[in-house]
Amino acid sequence: MAFLETGKLSIGELMTASFAELTASRREIAAYLGVFLLVDIAGALLPAPLAWLGSGWLLVFGGYFIAQYLLYRTMLRRAGHAGADNRLHIVRFVAMAFVIGLALAFAINLFLIPAIVLAARWIAAPCYVVAADKGPIAAMGESWSVTSGNTLPLSLAFSVLVLVSFALVVAFGLVEGALEAILGTQLELNLAMHVLPLLLMGLSVASYRRLNHEGTELAAVFA
């Protein structure tokens, strides 16, 4: 059931809702990480001439955005949000990620705070592409609009998730070291690079469910 509350959000609400979204899709996320883990291990164990076939980077470039899109779709559909035309809009999704990535890279070069604010205001943009069938720029505009008034809690939640991702990256590093000892070969696992995107996916879906216009209008009906 989608959240119907509107108005001001708190960092506590956002964090709780973000991890609730991720927990609800734990099977799909486990499968997602499992595929990438197997590909990374295959890349490490295959002979050198064939190692590129199992390279994590090959799957990242070939399937990363598709996998991200499908995870978003699964989480949003579970919450009762589905695209109007039921089609996949992966090209739009990639284009949006590219535009936001460039903007954040530029903002980081200026100062960290503007980058955090931009990330917070555009946090729901992927959901508008996946569930509302919006184009990249329209999705970014919708996200910017609905997050107005909640910039601070969203920015704080974003920052906390970044810190959590650092801790999980360290944990992945320990697992990688243990696997190297067991397998007797050096591994180049790329699972750590998925930690932050997955955490932010939870925040994105949680924010969308609480702030999008559809939810606001539905809440008004039952007010």
* Long-range own/partner contacts, residues 58-63 (CB < 8 A, 24 or more apart): 59/35, 60/36, 60/190, 60/193
CA 176 – CA 187 distance, rounded (Å): 7
Distance CA 211, CA 120 (A): 13
User: Which of 101, 153, 133 shows the shortest CA–CA distance to 212?
Assistant: 133
pLDDT computed for residue 110 by the predictor: 78
Q: What is the pLDDT of residues 13-54, one digit of tens each?
A: 999 999 999 999 999 999 998 887 777 666 666 555 555 555
Instruction: Give the whole-angstrom CA distance, residue 148 versus residue 160.
Output: 20
Q: Which of 145, 149, 102 is nearest to 125 (CA)?
A: 145
pLDDT cut 70: percent of the chain above it: 74
Residue 149 is classified by DSSP as: T
Q: Report the chain's mean pLDDT, rounded to a whole number.
A: 81
pTM given for the model: 0.81
